Amino acid sequence: MKRTFIVSALLAIMVPSIVGQAGDPATLQQKLNASFKITILAANNSDIATPGDVVELHKDGIRLSALNTVLTESNTYKDGKIGGGAAKRAWGSFGTSLLQGVAAGLDPSGATTVSTGPPPRILAAGDKCWILAITVQKDGVVFKLITDPNDNGMRYHGDLKILFPNKKQVPSADVILPMIAEVLSVVQSEPPPEPEVVAPPPPPPTRYDELAPPPSPPAPVVTVGESRTQVITDFGQPQKKSVVGAKTLYFYTDLKMKVTFINGKVSSID
């Protein structure tokens, strides 16, 4: 009786913890759809009709098939490793051989064949893709990826399945999203460039100015921390500009002055 009580108590502690980690497939699908914008292909299945998010890969070894072939590479990710692509392609090649056999039976002349196309493309960390679909399955989340055309105008596509830690249980979004981020993430678009500010022209002189011009105002001085707008207002557009990494350089050759900006603020004056 005591042993039964201890087991029951342990289950009472463990079961809520396990259930609390489980997720609902529909809820997870909604969360993924909100996290990634899907790309839609045109009717010819090669051009992009509606662009979605561009994602950058963080792992080497993801295999994709040429878009115009019957093969579709299927990759898996678990425990920090990419796998599954080669085995899927071998099965796909076998299936293609069967299709060629059927085609030969329908056309004894041998004129009808099924092309396996070029070899798969193996992507590396840093490569970028579009997402055509995201599907929550019983054992993982499948991303259908497609690349931009290469120099020969060929796009490559394939599947990448992020396997669940427990293949019999759909995890919550808080569990699967960090796993997805280990493999790919959305490329953030760069902010638009800061518009150039043109100093307003001086007002026309009044009659008093013509007869008795007032004393000249003190010459403007550049100080560290001023914005580019303030510098342009005081000194006008520079005769030369240069961008070196995170620095923007303004050269006022007539004043023999160089102003260095970092993040739009004056950092040094030479």
**Structural domain contains residue 196:** no
* 39 and 160 part of one domain: yes
**Structural domain contains residue 70:** yes
pLDDT 10s digits, 164-212: 999 889 999 999 999 999 999 999 876 767 788 888 888 776 665 556 6
Q: Give the up-direction half-sphere exposure of residue 130: CA atoms within 13 A in the CB hemisphere.
A: 19
**Structural domain contains residue 109:** yes
* 160 and 239 part of one domain: no
In this prediction, what percent of the chain has a pLDDT beyond 90? 41
From 186, 209, 235, the end of a domain falls on 186
Q: What value does the mean pLDDT take over residues 241-269? A: 85
- Report residue 262's pLDDT band, with 50, 70 and 90 as the boundaries: confident
In this prediction, what percent of the chain has a pLDDT beyond 70? 75
**Structural domain contains residue 212:** no
* 163 and 260 part of one domain: no
pLDDT 10s digits, 16-54: 343 335 679 999 999 999 999 999 999 988 899 999 999
Distance CA 42, CA 49 (A): 5
Which ranges constitute the DSSP H helices of the chain? 2-21, 25-35, 85-106, 173-183, 207-211, 228-235
Contact, 233 vs 226, CB < 8 A? no
Please give the pLDDT value at position 92.
47
Which ranges constitute the DSSP H helices of 153-227? 173-183, 207-211
- Report residue 116's pLDDT band, with 50, 70 and 90 as the boundaries: low
* 241 and 179 part of one domain: no
More confident residue, 23 or 152: 152
**Structural domain contains residue 233:** yes
**Structural domain contains residue 209:** no
- Report residue 229's pLDDT band, with 50, 70 and 90 as the boundaries: confident
- What mean pLDDT is reported for the chain? 80
From 167, 186, 205, the end of a domain falls on 186
For 266, the 3-state DSSP assignment is: strand
Distance CA 136, CA 107 (A): 41
Please give the pLDDT value at position 158.
94
Q: Can you say whether residue 249 is alpha, beta or left, with left for phi > 0 and alpha for psi between -120 and 50 degrees?
A: beta
Which ranges constitute the DSSP H helices of 36-172? 85-106
Q: What is the pTM of this model?
A: 0.56
Range of the domain at 258: 221-269
* 105 and 228 part of one domain: no
For 86, the 3-state DSSP assignment is: helix
Query: 12 pLDDT exceeds 60?
Result: no
- Report residue 232's pLDDT band, with 50, 70 and 90 as the boundaries: confident
**Structural domain contains residue 139:** yes
How many domains, the chain?
A: 2
Q: What value does the mean pLDDT take over residues 60-80? A: 91
Q: Give whichever of 57-61, 103-107, 186-190, 198-202 has the largest mean pLDDT.
A: 57-61
